[in-house]
Structure 1
Amino acid sequence: MSNLVLENVDLYYNRVHALRGLSLEVNEGEIVSLLGNNGAGKTSTLSMLSGLERPRNGRVTWGDKDLTKLQPWDMVEAGLLHIPEGRRIFSTMTVHENLLIGGYLVKDQKLIAERAAHAYELMPRLAERRDQQGGTLSGGEQQMLALGRALVGGPKLLLLDEPSMGLAPLIVKQVMEIIREVNKQGTTVLLVEQNAKAALKIADRAYVLESGRVTLQGPAAELAEDPRVIEAYLGA
């Protein structure tokens, strides 16, 4: 089983202690959500997992891989893909070109084409915009494009940072449904979200972070009913 396990992880930005003895687990096949306010350590967790930052202490494993010893491109090749906050699509490239570049480490061109076709099937809006430049898409379409680009890379574990940010409620619902479908098709998902209601609706389990520590954890359905979560993140 390729479970993701963090054990007592400390991460610093110079003197700022961003993650403080963080321990959590994402089991293969799950959607796990990280909730918390700005500065809680959610994005820092994803940056550390994808190799953009290195922990000072602790252990991070994904199956038999020690992630603290891998370079970011090694992680991508192994199937760990990170969609950062803000989508980061290539604005002057077409939708199709953006999708194809997601497979830059995939040597089988036929497989890249098949995965791009699957992305179009999953998100027909992208097929309609195939020849448009990425920068001309709406925010929701850009998020779909970022998801599609990751799918062409063949993710086994997908790290998603604030996919609902700046999107209208109807589009948020569509994006979350796509994430759930991607998960059903075999991809494990670690989802960072400030939209706790949307995240808890699709997640199996969730962790609440405060100041780089886990303060609450459990099945998503239970946390959605927890008075502390309701007051802090769902509205009284």
Structure 2
Amino acid sequence: MLEISDLDVHYDGVHALRGLSLTLGADEIVTLLGNNGAGKTTTLSAISGLVRPSGGKVVFEDKDITGLAAHKITSQGLVHCPEGRRVFSTMSVHDNLLLGGYLVRDQAEVRKRIDRVYDLLPRLAERRAQQGGTLSGGEQQMLAIGRALVTGPRLLLLDEPSMGLAPLVVAQVMELIADINAAGTAVLLVEQNASAALKIAHRGYVLESGQGTLSGTADSLRSDPRVVEAYLGGA
């Protein structure tokens, strides 16, 4: 579904990505691991059109989307849910979800997608009239993911969905991501919580200083001494 070849990104005088290559299948959750500054967020931004690559190629469903505008990439079914949730704090939960359907012309389809989000996340249904900014951190993260689902992704890019959340809520968010994947949406997951990410991912890549240094199945990465020492707390 997704193939990145020799991707380079420069900005603000920094060579943020250096010849990065990776693939993702239509039924997969693939996670990107790495320390802060490794290039994980830049990778997602380059894929989704928020950052223009200086070299290399991004191919989505056999179409070269390298350097396309972000809204054109989104309209093709590749949807980016960025770090920090970014819900519209003074708008209701329901209106936040409606904005996810901004590019969808068929309003009946938008309503169907919102109903599916409410079925998947009944807590949002209970709070549909509540302002987004008054939700808990976990609820805001679920709203951000729900809004992305209304856009209709075939591939969902998720950036740090567990950031700042309590362990119990992290488990709920990871279960949600696994459910989304099981329902037919591929996921590229950037996650600082490597242990949680590797529990639901099929494969993973480790980034260091903008380069891919290690890749493999989730099981192989979980047992790799280098990953254990660097990202799993030596456990």
TM, length-normalised to structure 2:
0.98
CA RMSD in angstroms, aligned pairs only: 0.8
Question: 1:178-235: per-residue Cα shift (whole Å, max 9, x none)?
Answer: 0110011110100000100000000000000000011110001110111111110001
Deviation at 1:59, TM superposition (A): 1.2
1 CA distance for matches of 2:36 and 2:7? 19
1:8 matches 2:6 = yes
Residue 52 of structure 2 contacts residue 67 of structure 2 at CA under 8 Å; is this kept in 1? no
Unaligned runs of 5+ in 1: none
Deviation at 1:110, TM superposition (A): 1.0
Q: Equivalences for 1:56-205 in 2 at 5 Å?
A: 56-205=54-203
2:30 and 2:188 in contact (8 A); partners too:
yes
- Cα distance, 1:177 vs. partner? 0.4
SS state of the match for residue 224, structure 1? helix
Shift, 1:15, TM fit: 2.1
Where structure 2 has 5 or more consecutive residues not aligned to the other structure, the ranges are none
Q: Given residue 33 of structure 2, which amino acid in structure 1 is its aligned partner?
A: L
Q: Secondary structure at the match of 1:47?
A: helix
Tell me the distance in 2 between the aligned counterparts of 1:212 and 1:107. 38
Q: Which sits farther off after the overlay, 6-15 or 77-86? A: 6-15
SS in 1 for 2:15: strand
C-alpha offsets along residues 59-95 of structure 1, whole Å, 9 cap, x if unaligned? 1111222111421111111111101100111000000
Alpha-carbon displacement from aligned partner over 1:112-159 (angstroms, at most 9, x marks no partner):
111101101101110111100000000000000001101111101100
Structure 1: distance between partners of 2:189 and 2:6: 20
SS of equivalent to 1:45: helix
Amino acid in the other structure paired with 2:178: R
- Superposed, 1:11-50 pairs within 5 Å as 11-50=9-48
> Which letter maps to 1:198?
A
Distance 1:45 1:119 in 2: 27
What SS does the corresponding residue of 1:40 show, helix, strand or coil? coil
Query: Pairwise mapping of residues 197-216 of structure 1 onto structure 2 (< 5 A)?
Result: 197-216=195-214
Conserved in 1, the CA contact under 8 Å of 2:89 and 2:131? Answer: yes
| Aligned equivalents of 2:170, 2:106: Cα separation in 1 | 33
Distance in 2, Cα, partners of 1:107 & 1:221: 42
Corresponding letter in the other structure for 1:182 = I
Relative to the length of structure 1, the TM-score reads 0.98
Shift of residue 29 of structure 1? 1.3
Aligned CA distance change for structure 1 residues 15 and 69 (closer, same or farther; 3 Å):
closer
Stretch of structure 1 that moved more, 126-135 or 59-68: 59-68
